[in-house]
Homo-oligomer: A and B are copies of this chain.
């Protein structure tokens, strides 16, 4: 018995598995008689406001399976956080199109948008089932044990550090790699997941949750270099100074006073830190930096098996909740079982509990010597899937 149409959209930064959530929901919806047309909103809320939709039933299963395995929001994404009036317009468009199911894939801003539209529908007494499907490489959503998208991005970062560490061991010096994460250091922590021996880097991990002065940073990096003849360092783009300000902010100030340098590029923090470490060292020193960049969230073929599976399932679950009679919520993950027995189950969280709030790394996942704790490794290892064993012969 047909109840109405469905809209699904994607919002915020891409992940490698965001289209698995999309197709998890769409394939599940296709099984139901209750759902009529299945619309994909192009570029999230912007596409709804502009009434730009595709119809999933127009595509072949083969094409949709290719889409499912492709990184980055297949429908297009947006960074637009709509104001109240825009949410009302969205509601009116939904009403006009007889939309009774709305699924919005994204982070905490996306949950907030869903929450606002949800309230409007309720006030107007219009039956709209509205679900947030979580995705973010940042792993910073509340309530859920972890976020779909994190495991794959952390896997990319862990592998990148494994390779960079061998590179640094082969041609010793100081290597500083900048990892995504403005407010929380989850992805930077992932740099440690491929370490197997005491000699392996990253030897130091800087996350926004633990402040540091530039002087301390240089001292700590150079101390590792003195000890090992090399240093592999992981730095969150959101690294903060003692006053809690972004390091990048003090850097910008410094640059501005020097000259009229445009401060837009993504390589700046790394280059700034390289400069500082070189100046703090008395002598000639090989210091390099890479900023890991968009590859962290969109590199094809690098994904975590459990993450890919869960990303598909959160999409599927959202549709199941809607069809079972639930009205609204955000699909959340509960972990059951540790290590090799790692498994998950899903539950429905309140939209308002997900909206706006950022989950930082808890204290017990970090150590005082710029490292992650065993508790973090136990938490994160099942999320990234099995990592390869790598080895060199130089003892470095």
Are the C-beta atoms of B278 and A271 separated by less than 8 Å?
no
Question: How far is B291's CA from A78's CA once the two chains are assembled, in angstroms?
Answer: 24
Q: Write the chain B residue with the least CB distance to A79.
A: B171
Q: Is A127 an interface residue (CB 8 A)?
A: no
CB distance A266 to B261 under 8 Å? no
| Given contacts A14-B167, A261-B255, A294 and B299 within 8 Å (CB-CB) | no
CA distance A172 to B108 in the complex (A): 22
Q: A66-B391, A67-B392, A166-B72 are in contact. Are A299 and B262 (CB under 8 A)?
A: no
Interface of A is mostly: loop
A393 CB within 8 Å of chain B: yes
Q: Which chain B positions have C-beta within 8 A of A16? A: 163
A243 interfacial by beta-carbon distance below 8 Å: no
A164-B294, A167-B297, A291-B291 as given contacts; A72 in contact with B392, CB under 8 Å: yes
* Segment from A282-290, A316-324, A372-380 that makes contact with B: A282-290
A396 → chain B, closest Cβ, in Å?
A: 6
- Bitwise interface map of A from 49 to 86 toward B, beta carbon under 8 Å scored 1, else 0: 00000100001000100110111111111110000000
A340 at the interface (CB under 8 A from B): no
The smallest beta-carbon distance between A242 and chain B, in angstroms, is: 23
Among A229-244, those with CB < 8 Å from B are none
A125 on the B face (CB < 8 A)? no
> Closest B-chain residue to A276, C-beta based?
B262
**Given the contacts A293-B291, A392-B70, A266 and B264 also touching, CB distance less than 8 Å:** no
Number of copies: 2
Question: Is there contact, CB below 8 Å, between B394 and A294?
Answer: no
A169 lies within 8 A of chain B by Cβ? yes
- Count chain B CB atoms within 10 A of each CB in A79, A169, A279, A394 and give the residue with the most: A394
Report yes or no: A293 in contact with B290, Cβ–Cβ below 8 A: yes
Does A250 belong to the interface (CB within 8 Å)? Answer: no
CA distance A301 to B54 in the complex (A): 36
Report yes or no: A271 in contact with B279, Cβ–Cβ below 8 A.
no
Known A43-B394, A275-B264: A298·B72 in contact at CB below 8 Å: no
14 A-B contacts (beta carbon < 8 Å): A13-B171, A76-B392, A78-B171, A159-B299, A163-B294, A163-B299, A164-B294, A167-B294, A258-B259, A262-B274, A266-B290, A267-B270, A267-B271, A290-B294
